[in-house]
Structures are given as structure tokens and as C-alpha cells.
Structure 1
Amino acid sequence: MYKHILLAADGSKHAETAAKHAAYLAKGDSNAKVTVVYVVDAVSSKHDVISSGGNGAYLEAVRHERIRPIEQILEEEGVTFEYKLLKGEPGPTINRFAKEEEMDVIVIGSRGLNAIQEMVLGSVSHKVSHGAPCPVMIVK
């Protein structure tokens, strides 16, 4: 089945639902691994830096904490996973990472945390589905 599963996550409820589906896919193969990818774009990065007072270690911890519920889902399901923090525009960055890492499938929630960006620029899941180098599962 799928051995290399990319789970795009932003800390939203839709990402948590996507994590359950990624876990289900991973449980189909004992050698499967989920890579949880959190992408920081320029807008959220600027906000995060200002709110953290420029403390890099604190900032990394806050960003990772947003993903903690998703990691808990994967841990509870007994799935092997790793966490990657990437920087850039989410859609293209996810697709580039999926290609570089030869992912078998991308699992992503249909909606994320940034509703304004979604309305103006189009959803991240839409951009991922149109540029992905592998199958994409969009979870509602």
C-alpha cells in the first residue's frame, strides 16, 4: 500500500481529521511512515515572530505545539511518524517536499486555519491537488 505518507497539518480540526485518515493508511503496512508537515508562510511567520518577541526557541515550540494533537492521534494509533517544519507558500512547498521525498500519497484537510487566505488565494488543498506529484486525499 502506501509506505511514505505526507500529512499536511496546520493545527486545524480538519487537519486532525486528516490525521485519522493518514493513520488508517499507515496501518495498512507495518513499514509505513507518516511525515507530518507544517508549513509556515510569510504572513504567519511575521505574526509569530512579533508575538514571540523574536525568541526562536520559543517560536519553534509554539509552532510544534499546534501540531501536538495530530501527533497524539498518530501515537494512539501506533503509527510511525516524524515532524517537519517547512517555510514558504504552503501549496507549492508541500508539493515540492512530496516530490523531493518521493511520497506515495498526500493527506490534507479540506479547510485550514487561514480563512482569509483561502478566500483570496484559493485553498491550500486545491493548490496541492493540482500540483502534486502523487495521489492526494482531501479529507472533509
Structure 2
Amino acid sequence: MFKKILVALDGSQPSQNALDAAIRLAEDYQADLLLFHVMQMPIPADKFESLSGKLGSLYYQLKEQIEGFAARLFQEATSKCASHSIKWQKRAVWGDPAGEIIKEACNGNYDLIVIGSRGLDDVENWLLGSVSQRVVRRSKCPVLVIR
């Protein structure tokens, strides 16, 4: 049923729960698993890149910290995967989380996306929406949202 599963990771507890569920599904269906993380600047990169001096330096420091977080996230996730009999890969990209998850799922012909649910309150949810909600609305393949 599922041969290729994409699990979206962001370091949150729901994301950790999603990884656990994705590992179990990958084992059950002998599916390949992609550990996928989207790195995002809190301020658009083009606002920093053209700057020099302290702000330009700040941009590169921030970028390095975000990439370091991704490396630590993958280290934890791959150690979990290594203790199971599954095939897995990892990939990190820069961009809008929901958009990049959808793009990867479509381009990679994934059978399932597993993603953690974020605990936004009703007002935040109404104003912002969540990554998982946007993925569910726009995905062409099934999405399993884990709390």
C-alpha cells in the first residue's frame, strides 16, 4: 500500500510522534522513508543578503544556526531509524514549509505524508493556519497528521 513515505520534521513533540508513527508504517509496509526538514529564515533572506556589516554578518550567523539545528534534528531522527529495519534518507531544504513539503511529495511520488499537528489555539489557527492544515488542503497524496 505505502512504498514511499515522507515524514516532515521540525523538532516539536508532535513531529517526534510523527516520526515514530512513520517508522512503524515503514516497517509494516516495507516502505522507504524520507526524513524531510524545511529550514526557514524568520525574516526574508533578501532583506539581509544585500546588507553589509553587522546585519550581513547576522544573516550568515542565523543561517548557520538554522543549519546546525537541522543537523541535530537529523542526528536524532537517524539514530531512531537506525534501530529499525527500514530504508531511509534525509533531506533539508530552504523555503516555505508547507510549500516545500507539497513540492517534495509531488516530485518524489510519495504515497503518504506523515506530519505532526501543531498546538495552535483557535485565534492563532484562524489567523495563521498551520503547516499541517495547509499540507492537508493542498496535498495530492494522503496525509497522516499526528498529535
- The one-character-per-residue Cα deviations of 1:35-60 (angstroms, maximum 9, x if unpaired) are 011001231786xx83863775x753
The one-letter code sitting in structure 1 at the alignment partner of 2:69 is V
TM-score, reference length from structure 1:
0.80
Aligned match of 1:26: 26
2:118 aligns with one of 111, 116, 135: 111
Stretches of structure 1 lacking an aligned partner (at least 5 in a row): none
Runs of 5+ consecutive residues of structure 2 not aligned to the other structure: 46-56
2:20 and 2:76 map into 1 onto residues whose CA distance is: 11
The alignment's C-alpha RMSD in Å is 2.7
| Counterpart Cα distance in 2 of 1:17 and 1:44 | 29
Contact 1:95 1:131 in 2 (8 A): yes
Matched, 1:102 2:101: no
Question: What SS does structure 2 have at the residue aligned with 1:43?
Answer: coil
Q: Percent identity among equivalent residues?
A: 28
- The alignment covers a number of residue pairs equal to 133
CA contact (8 A) 1:38 1:85 kept: yes
Structure 1 pair 110–59 and aligned structure 2 pair: CA distance change class (3 A): closer
Contact 1:42 1:89 in 2 (8 A): no
Question: Structure 2 residue aligned with 1:50, among 54, 58, 64?
Answer: 58
CA contact (8 A) 2:39 2:67 kept: no
The partner residue of 2:78 within 63, 71, 82 is 71
- For 2:8 and 2:44, the matched residues in 1 are separated by 17
Amino acid in structure 2 at the alignment position of 1:42: M
Q: TM-score, normalised by structure 2?
A: 0.77
SS at match of 2:42: helix
Q: Distance in 2 between matches of 1:44 and 1:72?
A: 32
Residues 89, 59 of structure 1: alpha-carbon distance in 2 compared, 3 angstrom cutoff: closer
The structure with the larger Rg is 2
Within 1, Cα distance between the matches of 2:66 and 2:97?
Answer: 19
Offset from partner CA, 1:107-133 (integer Å, 9 cap, x none) = 000117x99xx6442110000000011
